[in-house]
Structure 1
């Protein structure tokens, strides 16, 4: 258990969308806490609900979406009670900020880079135009923009993809948030730039002390940045633990499948992939949502939703495999001895650099 103060908390949160007179339940009864200074990774395939869940924290759900059950609190503020943009402006950007996946859609193409950073500083830090420019140039330097004072007046099209993502991070940090949500910030970048952005986020987190929610489908990224990991599937968290718990002592078959899909672990030309597709969120899901794709399901998986089974004080999973009556299944061969395999990769990559 963490001794740090809880800064953001979700309790039994469900999110629904009205689509063509039908109800789509995108998030199903999620409860989770984020502690001060902690990095929580939300991991899962596309469509698992990662981005939708975090939009609840900033009031950015689409117009046809709503929080159907539960509540989200930031400090002593119940965020589920906020309705208008005026109410949300006190939280969104200033207290909780977001770095989105595609910097080209986050930046205004007809405004200079410097003006986009400065206007956020003026709004949230109440600085003059001259003060804001000075702070903006300092931020640009901190996120690794060379000759920031000269590039302050340039436009987004004059920056590379990696540099644009650094600017988006600078804008997100310009309001000095307590929580930074990173929504797959490295997906559109090549591997080398990905590593640079991850290193930058870790460095800035250490300097500024914010808590971070990092959304990704790539468990390989998680290993290098997260303290805690929440594995999401079909709108719910099915396993939660420290990064060591998830990598070296995972218990849910879906988590096993995600780990097996790591390209770093491929020993042949064929990369492991998870068979089948996730269930429709329009329909009521009975039992374990992953059961139809599980290579070794039990009969109860199709009938009854598994509860949370505690593995340790820091680790739980929703799988009937943790019931004392369940058969003892071994992890897939590809992720057995994962600690040793990851250490070997680390040594190999270190030796290659």
Structure 2
């Protein structure tokens, strides 16, 4: 899956099933991925593509009606799919693999002060006394950009704005000293300015503390600014995997083309934005062929009959599309994403990609 051997977490052939009203829904269909030490791996796709469900298997947080039906998840020599009890997960969840959710109010206790919630985590995961933990908690609040941290230490979540609450959730995650930080749409509920601040904060904290990140989003603009590698998910499966530069400059799967075409910055002069027609397939029944075929203008006959294998594009890039087969007709990607890198540099201000482009010049 990756050219780098410093793999912290490795999932292989993960299948996740849910029992729903006497039927079985297969939410994750044979997913494999590697998270490399120090990197940011973005999981991208529409709502319902399986991004959050997949990462819940890394922390044992699937709903009661869900299960990992097959596959393995190796975290530093331990197969997490073998964990069955709360006691099994206690040493992993939070302590080694922490999660930041979309809505910080679901992570914060509304009747406890901000400071007490950070102290509780420091005492539990770092073994400090309450006095030591208070000093550290204020330091964490400073690091995540809370003004007058000592003064605001005894305030309650409702006294903080949405962006400030999200900063506190990040501080709590840092207090766990995690190896891996899962960010599940952490900026979706925030306005654009605050969103950019949170992304910059996460990037700087990653450099300081050295954790690896799995960043879940449907926003490819966010991906461009933070990710190193990108896994594109559709209907419970990874259909393309590449470096962030390859995803933007050389996308190969028609679904990835559609996601890129939907970037708000690519709206036409009338403000009209491309939208993907149709809806994803039902996952109650086996998917035949390419799950995206019915929604794609580029589908071949074989897409309705047989699932595409992984076609290797480069050492760091593969995609599951028959368009990469040597006998497939040559098809150009949509005009709106032709020369996308030039449009990105000219109009979108994605510094991460811009720096890379300048470095390649």
Match of 2:359 in 1: none
Distance 1:340 1:314 in 2: 22
Match of 2:24 in 1: 23
Match of 1:41 in 2: 42
Match of 1:289 in 2: 291
Match of 1:319 in 2: 321
Residues 280 and 329 from structure 1, CA distance in 2 versus in 1: closer, same or farther, beyond 3 angstroms?
A: same
Distance 2:299 2:88 in 1: 47
Question: Alignment partner for residue 328 of structure 1, among 326, 330, 351?
Answer: 330
Question: Which secondary structure does the structure 2 equivalent of 1:289 belong to?
Answer: coil
Question: Which secondary structure does the structure 1 equivalent of 2:124 belong to?
Answer: helix
Residue pairs, 1:232-311, within 5 angstroms: 232-268=233-269, 269-311=271-313
Residue pairs, 1:1-353, within 5 angstroms: 2-3=3-4, 5-268=6-269, 269-346=271-348
Question: Which secondary structure does the structure 2 equivalent of 1:221 belong to?
Answer: helix
Deviation at 1:275, TM superposition (A): 0.3
Question: Which secondary structure does the structure 2 equivalent of 1:275 belong to?
Answer: coil
Question: Contact 1:4–1:36 (CA<8 Å) still a contact in 2?
Answer: no
Distance 2:272 2:163 in 1: 30
Deviation at 1:267, TM superposition (A): 2.6
Question: Contact 2:225–2:350 (CA<8 Å) still a contact in 1?
Answer: no
Question: Contact 1:113–1:154 (CA<8 Å) still a contact in 2?
Answer: yes
Question: Which secondary structure does the structure 2 equivalent of 1:214 belong to?
Answer: strand
Question: Which secondary structure does the structure 2 equivalent of 1:321 belong to?
Answer: helix
Residues 66 and 131 from structure 1, CA distance in 2 versus in 1: closer, same or farther, beyond 3 angstroms?
A: same
Question: Contact 1:2–1:35 (CA<8 Å) still a contact in 2?
Answer: no
Question: Contact 1:287–1:301 (CA<8 Å) still a contact in 2?
Answer: yes
| Coordinate RMSD, CA, aligned | 1.1
Question: Contact 2:8–2:36 (CA<8 Å) still a contact in 1?
Answer: yes
Distance 1:286 1:251 in 2: 20
Distance 1:244 1:30 in 2: 22
Question: Which secondary structure does the structure 1 equivalent of 2:208 belong to?
Answer: helix
Question: Which secondary structure does the structure 2 equivalent of 1:345 belong to?
Answer: helix
Question: Which secondary structure does the structure 2 equivalent of 1:202 belong to?
Answer: helix
Deviation at 1:266, TM superposition (A): 1.5
Distance 1:94 1:296 in 2: 45
Deviation at 1:265, TM superposition (A): 1.6
- TM-score between both structures, scaled by the size of structure 2: 0.95
Q: Mark the runs of 5 or more structure 2 residues left unpaired by the alignment.
A: 352-361
Distance 1:178 1:105 in 2: 23
Question: Contact 1:34–1:211 (CA<8 Å) still a contact in 2?
Answer: yes
Residues 112 and 101 from structure 1, CA distance in 2 versus in 1: closer, same or farther, beyond 3 angstroms?
A: same
Deviation at 1:297, TM superposition (A): 1.1
Question: Which secondary structure does the structure 2 equivalent of 1:114 belong to?
Answer: helix
Distance 2:223 2:287 in 1: 28
- TM-score between both structures, scaled by the size of structure 1: 0.97
